[in-house]
Amino acid sequence: MDIQQIKNMIEDLPDFTGKKAVALETTIISHGMPYPQNVKTALAVEDEIRKQGAIPVTIGILDGKIKIGMTPDEIEEFGKKQSQIMKVSRRDLAYCVANKKSGATTVAATMILASLANIKVFATGGLGGVHRGAQENFDISADLDEFSRSPIAVVCSGPKAILDIPLTLEYLETKGVPVIGYQTEYLPLFYSRSSSYKLEASVKDAAEAAKIISTSDALKLHQGMIFANPIPSDYSLDNKMMETYIEKALEECEKAGVKGKAITPFLLAKVVELTGGKSLDANIALIKNNAKVAAQIAVELNK
């Protein structure tokens, strides 16, 4: 495919080479939070990135056109039309665009599209990964494989707590994907600041993170990496308490017969219900914090 064919599918294909840009996904808007918190959070995340001197680039698909940099009105449309928006990963991209559908990009799809625009840093909430019971159902997120294909540094608060964390880490190790703690030596567990999973690498600040990214590029490794950034302490929830709620949510998910891409949104919504909204507050806080750190890394990388 030549550059003109790509431009026909992407509205005003930008080039962020040498610019302080941070990619943002849209699944969190359409499938991760209820309206209007989803839209308010998306716009607040963009503002946080601007405050750090970087450029927010929210990525999604509207009526078959790939948008690398959505407007506030487009974000509002995504937030309102949740049930009408496809959840788009690598396997769904061509279908969504070819059939002129609207799609919200997952971590994997956002990494692919950010790469086309030469964006090096991406901020999200939590990673998809190996689901509990994967030994029987083989439910493994495409997010993990994408790190071995797309050279994007992703700032997140670790894998989503609903996942099988040891297997997720093992899978990433098999794929050769670096998982680096940001100002921590232990893997954050999304809603909680720490865990018993000690990481082999950590960085003390954005400058050190940027140096690792640029070194990876110089070595032509052509792969992504994960910077695991803990949720702010004021919003961190107790690990044992959250595990109880997650187990309850998993039981209800199984009873309801929820399968495939619908599992994560179902579980997250159920956990919000069980925690009386505390998990939603935590989710919003960690996303804003990850955006802040990602923007700082993008600024340092540009230097």
- pLDDT (tens digit, 9 = 90+) per residue, 35-68? 999 999 999 999 999 999 999 999 999 999 999 9
Instruction: Please tell me the number of Cα atoms within 13 Å of 66 on its side-chain side.
Output: 27
**Catalytic residue annotation:** 25, 160
Q: What is the pLDDT of residues 178-204, one digit of tens each?
A: 999 999 999 999 999 988 999 999 999
Q: Provide the pLDDT for residue 1.
A: 47
C-alpha dihedral sign at 69, 75, 79, 84: negative
Q: Provide the pLDDT for residue 227.
A: 98
Q: Provide the pLDDT for residue 136.
A: 72
> How is residue 233 annotated by DSSP?
G
How far apart are the C-alpha atoms of 29 and 82, rounded to whole Å?
8
The count of other CB atoms within 10 Å of the CB of residue 247 is: 11
The count of other CB atoms within 10 Å of the CB of residue 255 is: 8
Listed by start position, the domains of the chain span 3-302
Q: Provide the pLDDT for residue 99.
A: 95
How far apart are the C-alpha atoms of 219 and 197, rounded to whole Å?
28
Q: Where are the beta strands (DSSP E) in 220-297?
A: 225-228
- Sites in the chain below the pLDDT cut of 50: 1
Q: Which residues, in sequence order, are bridge partners of residue 22? A: 56, 121
**Token pair in block for residue 107:** 């971590």
CATH number of this structure's domain 3-302:
3.40.1790.10
CB 190 within 8 A of CB 163: no
**Token pair in block for residue 286:** 């960690």
